[in-house]
Amino acid sequence: MKVTVCIGSSCHIKGSRQVVESLQYLIEQSRLEDKVELGGTFCMGRCQQGVCVTVDGEFHSVTPDTVKEFFEKEVRARA
Amino acid sequence: MRKFDTKVQYLKYKVLREVAKEAFADRLPETAIDIPKMIVPGKVPTMRCCVYKERAILSERVKLAMGGNKSNPNVIEVIDIACDECPMGGYEVTNACRGCLAHRCEDVCRFGAISFDSNHVAHIDKSKCRECGACSKVCPYSAIHNYRRPCESACKVKAISMGAEKQACIDNEKCISCGACVYQCPFGAIMDKSYILNVIDMLKGSHGNRNYKIFAVVAPSISSQFTYAKLGQVITGLRELGFHTVVEAALGADMVAAAESRELAEKGFLESSCCPAFVKYIETNFPELVQHISHNLSPMATIARYIKEHEAPCKVVFIGPCTAKKAEIQRESVRPYVDAVLTFEELQALFDSREIDITALSEGVLDNASYFGRIFARSGGLADAVAEGLREQGLDFELKPCACDGIEACKLALLQKSRGKLDANFIEGMACVGGCIGGAGCLTHGEKNKAEVDKYGREAYEKTIQEAISVLKSN
């Protein structure tokens, strides 16, 4: 499973670093390192909806507050 | 508000703008020959002896705007016919000499080069004069003038001399492509080659970033440029031009600061590798000190490599204040990562060729780097960032930086190092006075620029180097 977080300027100021750090932590805690590939990209062209995250190409809008919920539903449940 | 410091820059800009306009309209190279007449119409000369000479020079500028002489590897070129062959006699007594009684000039001259005629007017014996300038300093009438060519005075590496036809000639072996002569020549007779057409081709070929994404990597000195608009509007303007997105070179600087502080702690002494003109200067003049040059790529190349490795297929265009960066991307170690370099002058021409008025645009966002990555743009910033890098990584190493701006200061530090007399373990070398904000490709060079860079640094969302680069570790 490939999870990509936007680290472009717009998402960055909306907290993409916190989202990346949380995901790293949650993936590690859930021992999903072998199954989930976490990556970054500069801009997905949907800056209004940031922080932009894709799971195997499927778009999600995430914030530092909703990252745990997102992880449970879209990553852990499907990995 | 003024966009340029000088009318020479403005002229150069007009040529670039017209060339870009024709390129976007797919009319080049056919219409290249008509551009001089578009810029100088009519029959009344405004710059030179006649419109025909003006147009002849402009057609040379058009050639440079289209990439210049391919057989000359240097990115800096002399336009022979534009060179005004300035006088260069050294110190001479002008007619402001009043034949006074004091004769301070004679007293101060240690070489006995000054004598007086029957009217007590001073004369300099050229065979004795050593060009020290002492007489010029003491004359109460400022009657002694140093006739030096602005290009030669600007060139601190002594790469410019007078050719057989009295025109300026550049010694490519010595030239570090810093562009000081480009900015200083009052006749605009020395220019940097432009790669604006390569960028336009890339923009066209990307088909709205569908074939490949084009990244604009901008230097932090951009914060002191385009002062007539907001930085966010420049970012939106870049997107309007067709760039996929804009990334701060300062993020590359954060990556460099982290790696450079580790390398320094390991090796004990380093010379910085960020400024390509400084690197070339060491290679040419201090070969024995090449071993101490940091092994890190420059911030530009570092972030470009990251982008190339993670965003393929893509193109990377660096936009900055620097002409030497145009030479840097010809190096084997950098060529794979950066596809073209533009200066701020050239970016202004690109905006205007598309009639993009950036002051009318909404404000985009530019935020990838930390305060420390951003202050690389001014002298002392890199040393501050390395100190921070050491601190953040808990490295026990006492940094003794020697921040040098301008090639003369760099030379002094390197000379001291080569003689074992330098009391420092890190030389931050920047070829331009003030650092990158003094670069030849800047639109404006002002007193406030340093303050602007510091202000921009403080506005960074991330406060530490580690925070800024932590997002990259996801890969």
Write down the pLDDT at residue B369. Answer: 95
DSSP state of B362: P
Q: Do A9 and B310 touch (CB under 8 A)?
A: no
On whether both B127 and B186 belong to a single domain, the answer is no
Q: Do B367 and A13 touch (CB under 8 A)?
A: yes
Domain count, chain B: 4
On whether both B365 and B264 belong to a single domain, the answer is yes
Give Cα separations from B312 to A1, B212, B286, B307, B466 (angstroms): 20, 8, 39, 8, 26
Write down the pLDDT at residue B473. Answer: 67
C-alpha closest to that of B338 among B375, B365, B301: B301
Give yes or no for B367 touching A (CB within 8 A): yes
- Distance (Å, whole) CA A6 – CA B247: 12
Write down the pLDDT at residue B67. Answer: 96
Q: What range defines the domain where residue B49 resides?
A: 1-67
Residues of B in contact with A33 (CB under 8 A): none
On whether both B308 and B434 belong to a single domain, the answer is yes
Q: Do A7 and B461 touch (CB under 8 A)?
A: no
The full DSSP string for B295-317 is SSPPHHHHHHHHHHHHS-SEEEE
pLDDT under 50 in chain B at which residues?
475
**Gap from A63 CA to chain B (nearest CA, Å):** 15
On whether both B111 and B78 belong to a single domain, the answer is no
Give yes or no for B245 touching A (CB within 8 A): yes
Residues of B in contact with A12 (CB under 8 A): 367-368, 461, 471
Write down the pLDDT at residue B475. Answer: 46
Confidence of residue A79 (pLDDT cuts 50, 70, 90): confident
Domains detected in chain A = 2-76 (3.40.30.10)
On whether both B77 and B62 belong to a single domain, the answer is no
On whether both B240 and B95 belong to a single domain, the answer is no
Residue pair B176/B281 in contact (Cβ under 8 Å)? The answer is yes
On whether both B333 and B424 belong to a single domain, the answer is yes
Write down the pLDDT at residue B3. Answer: 81
Write down the pLDDT at residue B89. Answer: 81
The predicted-structure confidence for A8-51, as pLDDT tens digits, reads as follows 999 999 999 999 999 999 999 999 999 999 999 999 999 999 89
On whether both B164 and B202 belong to a single domain, the answer is no
Which pTM does this prediction carry?
0.92
Our measurement of the distance from residue B411's CA atom to the centroid of its chain's CA atoms, rounded to an integer in Å, reads 18
Write down the pLDDT at residue B447. Answer: 78
On whether both B268 and B384 belong to a single domain, the answer is yes
Q: Do B247 and A41 touch (CB under 8 A)?
A: no
On whether both B141 and B209 belong to a single domain, the answer is no
